[in-house]
């Protein structure tokens, strides 16, 4: 229930879904370690992917990415 309420709040505030730009990402794993909601997972090819259904759009990963690869 809490997750659904947060998602609605983010949507109302205009928070967009996040994605990792694979061309800019240096695969440092900082976003993965920072995500409190386990929304970032390592894919089979070694890159990271944001799971939209788990993402609470807190933007911690985006703010801390050293290469601004999260859009």
- Per-residue pLDDT tens digits for 1-42: 677 787 777 777 777 889 999 999 999 999 999 999 999 999
Strands 48-50 and 40-42: antiparallel
- pLDDT at site 24: 97
pTM over 0.85? The answer is no
Domains, the chain: 2-64 (3.30.70.20)
Q: How many CB atoms lie within 10 A of CB 45?
A: 7
Name the helix (H) or strand (E) containing 41.
Answer: strand 40-42
Mapped onto helix, strand or coil, the DSSP state of residue 30 is: helix
Backbone angles phi, psi at 70, to 5 degrees: -100, 120
Cα gap 13→25, rounded to integer Å: 27
């Amino acid at each position: 229930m809490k997750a659904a309420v947060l998602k609605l709040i983010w949507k109302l505030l205009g928070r967009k879904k996040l994605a990792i730009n694979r061309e800019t990402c240096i695969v440092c794993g900082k976003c993965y370690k920072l995500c409190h909601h386990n929304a970032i997972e390592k894919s089979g090819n070694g890159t990271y992917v944001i799971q939209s259904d788990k993402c609470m759009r807190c933007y911690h990963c985006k703010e801390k990415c050293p290469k601004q690869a999260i859009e």
